Structure 1
Amino acid sequence: MPNFAVNLSMLFTELPLIERFDAAAQAGFKQVEIQFPYELTPDEIQAALQRNKQTLVLINLPAGDWAGGERGIACHPDRIDEFKKGVNLALKYARSLGVQKINCLSGIKPDDVSSQKAEETFARNLKHAANTLEAHDIQLMAEAINTQDVPGFFLNTSKQLIDLKESFCIENLYFQYDVYHMQIMEGNLIATLNNNLHNVGHIQIADVPGRHEPGTGEINFPNLFKAIDAMGYSGTISLEYVPAADTLSGLAQVKPIIGGQ
């Protein structure tokens, strides 16, 4: 069975972020991820990780004005300098905290930018980030997001990312495969994962519809986990869902599905 982590930006939101490490540890999780850790200092996070003997497996690059509706800036031609500063900030956190994977969100394509220009900008930024992180043995992830929840999100299928990686020769770039988003956009989860496993660096899960706990929707997670096991995937699978009620009652339903964790 794969290793499981919890996303502290999505679960335990009943608590301040700094207290979610303790709550995750009490629930039995030694691996955590955070979308945007930047409201805390690296020292604050390090103390929480050490206290709970946890590993922070993944963070995101800064993604613009999240509260204002932005979902990344990597495809925005007029914000390349801001993107590079974000890479440096994320690298500072990752090096301090031992994070080995950093995720990049493409963002929503601006209306006044052509698809070709957005792709060129996105590829240029990915290559810069990938090369910068590779020098520190950190992998760059990129995540495709469904366009029902986030209309206009530029990177939205597995094929788009693989084609971009190959066309622009970005070696240190891997797919952050979010089962929820990919079920909506393309389905055929097991075959897609199996065909692209060498490019998959991280997996996240939530059920469809609703983005709630595994077992609340249409995805056959026991079958999916069995297939992922058979593929030989040795990375982390992160619980990145919106609890239907409170976090702990949701985890009580999830743990039998993920093997008790």
Structure 2
Amino acid sequence: MQRRSFLKNTLFGTGALALATGTGATVNTFSQAKGQPFHLDYAPHDGMFATSGGKDFIDQIRYMYDLGFRSIEDNGMAGRSVEQQTKIGETLAKLGMRMGVFVVPKGGNGANTLAAKKKEHVDIFLEGCRKSVEVAKRCNAKWVTVVPGDFDKSLPLAIQTANVVEALRRGAEILEPHGIVMVLEPLSDTPDLFLRYSTQTYEICKAVNSPSCKILYDAYHLQKNEGNLIKNLEMCWDEIPYIQVGDNPGRKEPTTGEVNYKNVFKFLYEKGYKGIIGMEHGMSKQGKEGEERLVQAYREVDSFV
């Protein structure tokens, strides 16, 4: 009985020590990593660190840098004032950070679909491309998001696809001389959307045949629409310069849903991916606690090496 009690107590003590040591090691790893750049280039957006970094986006950018992030993205950049766009660009340049995607103004939506081949819709899209060139110059952006809009169910699918390709070629002609890349984003928001799958987007990019027309692979939307993330990334790899993430279900930070982002990021790292990974998702907790949880989650899934 004495031996059994000794073993029980010893094992309990050893287990507790191991647990404490393991937990301590994890905490120390996060603590030591704080402020160090991540293995991949994750890009937060405006508001993610408003509690700790301040409500001003410029202050948030500086705070993001201190946390180890080296890029941002801002879907609504085109809607900011010229002064704001310029100041953001200058701040990023000073910190050595990159600007991720912003959305082309009216670059395609339910009311402005490129699949219908309506002149007024195409003209709106092309004007958005022209405006995007000026915005990109101010904030040092290279990538702009385009969504071709909804299906036009009065037309055969092949005709709609040809219409989209034709419009995108015209957009690429505007962007290409400036080294700007429109990245087409397949979405899951509604089944009415024309662009929904990575392989469909790959086919369109090949048909447009321009360095200024590529794929924005948003793993949140594509997990919902098709799954098989790593395999589809592999198949479409040569047309993917930009990636966004969000866990599913819920569209919150990695580790809150079903996607094994540590494995996905490990795949990207081993493929030599040097692009931006946009953090286009919400947060599972609010305020300072949520911001700390967000950083911890990215440190966790970034620990693949």
TM-score by length of 2: 0.74
Q: Percent identity between the aligned chains? A: 23
Comparing 51-60 with 237-246, greater Cα deviation is found at 51-60
The question of 1:254 aligning with 2:297 is answered: yes
Aligned to 1:150: 190
Comparing 42-51 with 78-87, greater Cα deviation is found at 42-51
Q: Give the secondary-structure state (helix, strand or coil) at the position aligned to 2:178.
A: coil
1:218 corresponds, among 234, 244, 258, to 258
The separation in 2 between residues aligned to 1:169 and 1:65, in whole angstroms, is: 20
Aligned to 1:25: 62
Higher helix share: 2
Is 1:58–1:102's contact at 8 Å kept on the other side of the alignment? yes
Q: CA deviation at 1:142?
A: 0.6
Task: For 2:197, give the aligned amino acid.
Answer: T
Q: Give the secondary-structure state (helix, strand or coil) at the position aligned to 2:128.
A: helix
Q: Give the secondary-structure state (helix, strand or coil) at the position aligned to 1:103.
A: strand
Aligned to 2:135: 93
Aligned to 2:230: 190
Aligned to 1:133: 175
Is 2:107–2:146's contact at 8 Å kept on the other side of the alignment? no
The separation in 2 between residues aligned to 1:134 and 1:242, in whole angstroms, is: 33
Is 1:100–1:138's contact at 8 Å kept on the other side of the alignment? yes
Inter-CA distance 190–231: structure 2 relative to 1 (3 Å threshold):
same
Task: For 1:193, give the aligned amino acid.
Answer: L
The separation in 2 between residues aligned to 1:119 and 1:160, in whole angstroms, is: 9
Task: For 2:106, give the aligned amino acid.
Answer: A
Is 1:75–1:109's contact at 8 Å kept on the other side of the alignment? yes
Q: Residues 202-217 of structure 1: matches in 2 within 5 Å?
A: 202-217=242-257
Higher strand share: 1
The separation in 2 between residues aligned to 1:122 and 1:18, in whole angstroms, is: 39
Task: For 2:184, give the aligned amino acid.
Answer: A
Task: For 1:22, give the aligned amino acid.
Answer: D
Aligned to 1:229: 269
Is 1:212–1:241's contact at 8 Å kept on the other side of the alignment? yes
1:3 corresponds, among 41, 44, 65, to 41
The unaligned stretches of length 5 or more in structure 2 are 1-38
Q: CA deviation at 1:190?
A: 1.1
The separation in 1 between residues aligned to 2:161 and 2:111, in whole angstroms, is: 16
Q: Which digits, 9 at most, give the CA deviation of each residue in 1:157-185, with x for residues without a partner?
A: 01111112223434432111001111111
Inter-CA distance 209–93: structure 2 relative to 1 (3 Å threshold):
same
Task: For 2:161, give the aligned amino acid.
Answer: E
Is 1:91–1:133's contact at 8 Å kept on the other side of the alignment? yes
Q: Residues 34-45 of structure 1: matches in 2 within 5 Å?
A: 34-45=74-85
RMSD: 2.7
Task: For 1:144, give the aligned amino acid.
Answer: P
The question of 1:61 aligning with 2:73 is answered: no
TM-score by length of 1: 0.85
The question of 1:242 aligning with 2:279 is answered: no
Is 2:100–2:278's contact at 8 Å kept on the other side of the alignment? no
Q: Which digits, 9 at most, give the CA deviation of each residue in 1:196-225, with x for residues without a partner?
A: 221101000000111111100001111111
Q: CA deviation at 1:92?
A: 1.0
Q: Which has the higher contact order (CA 8 A, sep 6+)?
A: 1
Inter-CA distance 169–30: structure 2 relative to 1 (3 Å threshold):
closer
Q: CA deviation at 1:50?
A: 2.8
Task: For 1:259, give the aligned amino acid.
Answer: D
Inter-CA distance 171–31: structure 2 relative to 1 (3 Å threshold):
closer
Q: Which digits, 9 at most, give the CA deviation of each residue in 1:128-183, with x for residues without a partner?
A: 1112111111122111112xx32311100011111122234344321110011111
Inter-CA distance 249–2: structure 2 relative to 1 (3 Å threshold):
closer
Q: Give the secondary-structure state (helix, strand or coil) at the position aligned to 2:57.
A: helix
Comparing 230-239 with 52-61, greater Cα deviation is found at 52-61
The unaligned stretches of length 5 or more in structure 1 are none
